[in-house]
Chain A
């Protein structure tokens, strides 16, 4: 108890010292300030605004506060969470989305650990000293005491030519009695590296993540920079939206919904997912 009392005393005394000596010079420009308050500064703030869990200053509401997750507050925030310059997101689509999210029997809340959302990160790597774009898809995964972002998939245009093949033509093949000759014709199959992918099965799908890891381990792929980050959300039943960061003058700034799609079926959802992952099968 005595330690706690002493601690409180020192905190108060030294707190006074620190507030007088430590304070850095502050900017007093109201125009800039209002812009910065309006900006959705972090993805975390997007979650909190979407869910109606903080006030105008960005301070969290207590879960018992009547404003916490209130429909009125969420309506106010939701209207500012769209990229206003994107005419592709029609007003009636936004209205329907707002209705589904806020006015259903159970309001829809975004859950950071709820899955069904992932990051798309455009990066530049040097491949044999030539700059190449590689897209990483990351997802949150539980691990030991907490969670972490992990690379779930990778797409790189530079890998595509290695796996390209025309399945409409007969092309090269290992004839059906090759086994009787201990597959001695493999020698001819592997003679020409350009046609080697023709010997893979129909269901073969190139796994860019494996190639990516292999090339890094081999030392031929070196990280350079992150170019762009965006997020894809499938967490709201019947909807997909994209979240991107906008850095421009005005108040419609920061992390905003940059694309919105109403999904009518599970198959539509799967098609869109595959499209986002650059998957053709």
Chain B
């Protein structure tokens, strides 16, 4: 399934191919939408993986496999910066560590749902030529213990996306495409 998804992303990217200014590596405004869709696709994948990892019914081995998959969405060295309403200090976790903490939460039942709301920023170019954007999504978490202890929160997740022009060879032909990787994520608890 993973391989299929990669091919899917790749081919979707090829669709975007014809819509770039080849010389300068610039993205035409009308085609930015296609890149936004690809970014959203990756964010939705991440949302799904987080829900699976957090689910107490997910077997350990399956959770490990999903964590591997989720990690592949990210650029190396990506971190989660987490704060809450009561604790303003930002705690920084490597992505894998964040997933492991999520899996180890001390609840007997966990529900992770996502609001059907997203906000995609404009893409800005970095000094190295890559583009960077931020996708904002919202997650509702509910945890419950057998002794009746309940906890719930809504968190805003501001997710960095890196958009990079890459090359691949298909049947001897060099194909250029735009690839999207996730980067650092800022997680803040909201008052919702």
Write the residues of chain A forming the contact surface with B, with a CB cutoff of 8 angstroms: 3-4, 6-8, 10-11, 14-15, 17-18, 22-29, 32-33, 35-37, 41-42, 44-45, 48, 58, 60, 62-63, 112, 124, 143-148, 224-227, 247-249, 253
Q: Is B121 an interface residue (CB 8 A)?
A: yes
Find chain B residues with CB under 8 A from A145 CB.
25, 125-129
Q: Is the CB of A249 within 8 A of B191?
A: yes
Q: Is the CB of B29 within 8 A of A63?
A: yes
In the assembled complex, the CB of A243 is this many whole angstroms from the nearest CB of chain B, namely: 15
Find chain B residues with CB under 8 A from A60 CB.
122
Subset of 16 A-B contacts with CB under 8 Å: A3-B170, A4-B14, A4-B18, A14-B8, A24-B48, A27-B114, A27-B138, A29-B115, A35-B192, A41-B156, A42-B158, A145-B25, A148-B126, A224-B89, A247-B191, A249-B192
Chain B residues numbered 27-46 whose CB sits less than 8 Å from any CB in chain A: 29-30, 41, 44-45
B118, B125, B140, B192: the one within 8 Å of A146 (CB): B125
Q: Is B181 an interface residue (CB 8 A)?
A: no
Q: Is the CB of B136 within 8 A of A41?
A: yes
Chain B, Cβ-Cβ closest to A57: B117
In the assembled complex, the CB of A2 is this many whole angstroms from the nearest CB of chain B, namely: 10
Find chain B residues with CB under 8 A from A226 CB.
81, 90
Q: Is the CB of A11 within 8 A of B115?
A: no
Q: Is the CB of B11 within 8 A of A227?
A: no
Return the CB mask of B89-103 against A: 1 if under 8 Å, else 0.
110000000000000
Chain A, Cβ-Cβ closest to B117: A36
Find chain B residues with CB under 8 A from A58 CB.
118-120
Q: Is the CB of A27 within 8 A of B116?
A: yes
CA of A124 to CA of B90 in the docked complex: distance in angstroms? 10
